[in-house]
């Protein structure tokens, strides 16, 4: 989402400085802190609300100012007349006063407008000029797609300084138009739906469909299964969770038609891929309320498009303490949550066996519903028993801190499991950063350096321990398995390393240690993918070792994973010893005359983290 802030006080040192100050003042404005979950979490990370200037300089909108350096940016921020305060060292910045505006006040001064079409040069400036005649504008937000490259979706939020400007815009005669085309306009608080009777009826049917209204069952199991999957992919609650389906939905910005052949290629349809496009089209036509298929049977779309995606995470609450045995718990909970506001979806939380756990998520249409539920007096009860309640944001944070979810892969899995939409997952990444910072502050041994290993960059502690083993990655099929005839006496592979390694060096840049399974079998790894041509070459040049025949093949996935993780661990330990000043043990074997000097075991590129790496590195 792009933003532009108006009425920033220009500093004295040039146009670029003025732009930099305006952008940072926007970040710290009431409007942005109340609506930008990612920055709000950064702002609330510390009780004093100091935010690192280096962090702010890393934002995409600050790219054009990075070349001037952090001291320059700190000096620019010091020229703020009333909003910002820079610390004595010039490393952090904060607001001079707490946030005064409430979210409800901000929303009441904002409107939603859709129909601006494709993005053109200086789009922000043109839209700002479009709204200016109706009143003083505080900010403009352009809605963009989640996928990269982020594309303008044709809709905006405009925040006016006075509520009278909102009324003037909405009641203007003739109605506001963009390049001769009438816009869809409404107050921001109503932007999640359209109040016209026709559209409202379509949304009513769709919401009922989302609330598990009982339908006439289809007696063909495959047809029913495919239809359920398709409606889950394109439902209000499911579409924001599935990256591939969301990308297909946004490909046609005007009508949101999705080619059925591409839709049928999604992962959950894999077992039905051989049925063909015509069969899929006939199945999708059986959707009663959510989907429609074009006349040719080549495309499918939602009957009612999503006008705007509000923050699902912020509009959701967590509640626990419900009865587990009720068969109608879904309907009962929907009626219970409607007491506090308009409900978009109620999601029962199930265990591994599909049984209700007694807790649920509720997504309200507006933030007001969340506030009424969490601040209710008396507190919400279920059959006379007080419930455990909190926002879904707080629940996710508590779970992440309790279960120590710091690995990137695990956080992604957690986000999908807890049904956190793609545009809300930045909140979880901020919690991960906070968790890492707390762990590092309380840990005597901190990550001191990083090493490059195959396709990954690994953070390593001073003692050589890899911080997150999940971060170790490599190309598939970069390991080989060998076996030979049982030697007598047994062959010591490590002592005869060069016998196996030397013939391979001209063909592979970096070669790993030998991992033995038995005295005659083991694996060896290289730093790139081994092709079929490479495999045939190895079989030719390394057909024997010490006079014994050797056969080569590809290992299983489990064997390759075990070998590569062991290689990464050995590499990290070796680098840690070098950084600590400890010399690698010398080989006791005498060097033969005419033998070439062995090159370094691995190429390393180290970069210090926090200045913790020893100076002799």
Answer CATH for 2-95 from 3.10.310.10, 3.40.50.1100, 3.30.1490.20, 1.10.10.10:
1.10.10.10
Helix pair angle (392-403, 408-417), 10° resolution: 140
Report whether pLDDT(388) > 90.
yes
pLDDT at 284: 92
Domain boundaries, the chain: 2-95, 103-190, 210-302, 311-442, 459-579
Do 311-442 and 459-579 come out as alike in CATH topology?
A: yes
From 123-137, 246-260, 497-511, the region with the lowest mean pLDDT: 497-511
Residues 605 and 263: their CA atoms lie apart, in Å, by: 43
Spatial separation of the C-alpha atoms in residues 506 and 498, rounded to whole Å: 13
When computed from its CA atoms, the radius of gyration of the chain, rounded to whole angstroms, is 30
Q: What is the pLDDT of residue 79?
A: 92
pLDDT digits (tens, 9 = 90+) for 301-358: 998 877 555 567 888 999 999 988 777 788 788 888 988 888 888 888 888 888 889 9
Which of 232-236, 360-364, 462-466 has the least mean pLDDT?
Answer: 462-466
Is 603 buried (19+), middle (13-18) or exposed (0-12) by CB count in 10 A? exposed
CATH of 459-579, one of 3.30.70.330, 3.90.1150.10, 3.40.718.10, 3.90.930.60: 3.30.70.330
Instruction: Give one DSSP letter per residue of 112-141, joined into a string.
Output: EEE---S--TTHHHHHHHHHGGGS-EEEEE
Listing DSSP states for 522-541 in one string gives EEEEESS---HHHHHHHHHH
Please give the CATH number for the structural domain made up of 103-190. 3.30.70.330
Instruction: Give the range among 124-133, 238-247, 496-505, 571-580 with minimum mean pLDDT.
Output: 496-505
Output the CATH code of domain 210-302.
1.10.10.10
For residue 203, what pLDDT is reported? Answer: 40
Residue 486: the pLDDT is 63
- What's 311-442's CATH class? alpha beta
Confidence at residue 600, expressed as pLDDT on a 0 to 100 scale: 42
Q: Contact 471/408 with Cβ under 8 angstroms?
A: yes
pTM (two decimals) = 0.40
pLDDT at 596 over 70: no
Q: Which helix (H) or strand (E) holds 193?
A: none
């Amino acid at each position: 989402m792009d933003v532009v802030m108006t009425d920033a006080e220009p500093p004295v040192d040039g146009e670029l400085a003025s732009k930099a100050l305006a952008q940072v003042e926007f970040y710290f404005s009431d409007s942005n802190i109340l609506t930008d979950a990612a920055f709000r979490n950064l702002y609330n990370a510390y009780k004093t609300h100091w935010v690192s200037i280096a962090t702010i300089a890393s934002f995409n909108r600050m790219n054009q100012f990075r070349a001037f350096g952090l001291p320059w940016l700190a000096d620019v921020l010091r020229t703020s007349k009333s909003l910002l305060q820079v610390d004595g060292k010039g490393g952090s910045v904060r607001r001079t006063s707490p946030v005064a505006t409430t979210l409800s006040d901000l929303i009441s001064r904002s409107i939603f407008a859709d129909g601006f079409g494709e993005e053109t040069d200086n789009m922000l400036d043109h839209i700002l000029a479009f709204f200016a005649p109706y009143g003083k504008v505080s900010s403009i937000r352009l809605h963009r797609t989640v996928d990269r490259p982020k594309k303008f979706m044709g809709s905006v939020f405009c925040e006016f300084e006075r509520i009278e400007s909102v009324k003037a815009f909405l009641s203007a005669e003739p109605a506001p138009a963009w390049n001769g085309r009438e816009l869809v306009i409404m107050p921001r608080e109503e932007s999640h739906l359209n109040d016209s009777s026709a559209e409202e009826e379509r949304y009513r049917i769709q919401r009922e469909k989302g609330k598990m209204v009982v339908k006439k069952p289809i007696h063909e199991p495959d047809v029913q299964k495919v239809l359920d999957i398709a409606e889950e992919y394109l439902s209000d609650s499911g579409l924001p969770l599935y990256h591939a389906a969301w990308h297909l939905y946004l490909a046609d910005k005007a009508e949101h038609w999705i080619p059925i052949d591409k839709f049928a290629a999604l992962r959950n349809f894999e077992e039905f891929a051989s049925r063909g496009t015509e069969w899929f089209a006939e199945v999708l036509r059986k959707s009663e309320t959510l989907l429609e298929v074009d006349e040719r049977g080549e495309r499918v779309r939602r009957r009612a498009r999503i006008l705007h995606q509000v923050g699902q995470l912020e509009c959701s609450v967590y509640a626990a303490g419900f009865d587990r045995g009720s068969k109608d718990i879904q309907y009962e909970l929907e009626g219970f949550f409607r007491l506090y506001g308009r409900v978009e979806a109620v999601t029962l939380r199930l265990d591994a066996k599909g049984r209700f756990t007694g807790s649920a998520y509720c997504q309200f249409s507006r933030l007001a519903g969340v506030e009424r539920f969490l601040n209710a007096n008396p507190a919400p009860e279920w059959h006379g028993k007080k419930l455990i309640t909190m926002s879904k944001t707080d629940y996710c944070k508590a779970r992440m801190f309790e279960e120590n979810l710091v690995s990137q892969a695990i956080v992604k899995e957690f986000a999908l499991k807890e049904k956190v939409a793609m545009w809300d997952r930045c909140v979880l990444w901020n919690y991960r950063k906070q968790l890492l910072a707390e762990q590092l502050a309380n840990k005597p041994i901190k990550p001191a350096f990083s090493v490059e290993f195959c396709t990954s960059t690994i953070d390593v502690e001073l003692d050589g321990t890899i911080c997150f083993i999940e971060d170790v990655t490599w190309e598939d099929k970069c390991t080989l398995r060998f076996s030979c005839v049982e030697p007598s006496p047994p062959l010591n592979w490590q002592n005869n390393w060069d016998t196996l390694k030397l013939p391979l060096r001209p063909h592979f840049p970096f070669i790993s240690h030998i991992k033995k399974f038995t005295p005659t079998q083991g694996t060896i790894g290289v730093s790139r993918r081994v092709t079929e041509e490479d495999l045939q070459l190895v079989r030719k040049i390394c057909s024997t070792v010490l006079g014994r025949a050797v056969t080569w093949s590809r290992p299983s996935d489990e064997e390759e994973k075990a070998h590569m993780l062991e290689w990464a661990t050995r590499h990290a330990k070796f680098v840690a010893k070098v950084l600590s000043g400890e010399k690698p043990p010398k080989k006791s074997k005498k060097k033969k005359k005419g033998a070439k000097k062995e090159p370094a075991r691995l190429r390393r590129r180290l970069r210090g983290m926090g200045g913790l790496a020893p100076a002799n590195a």
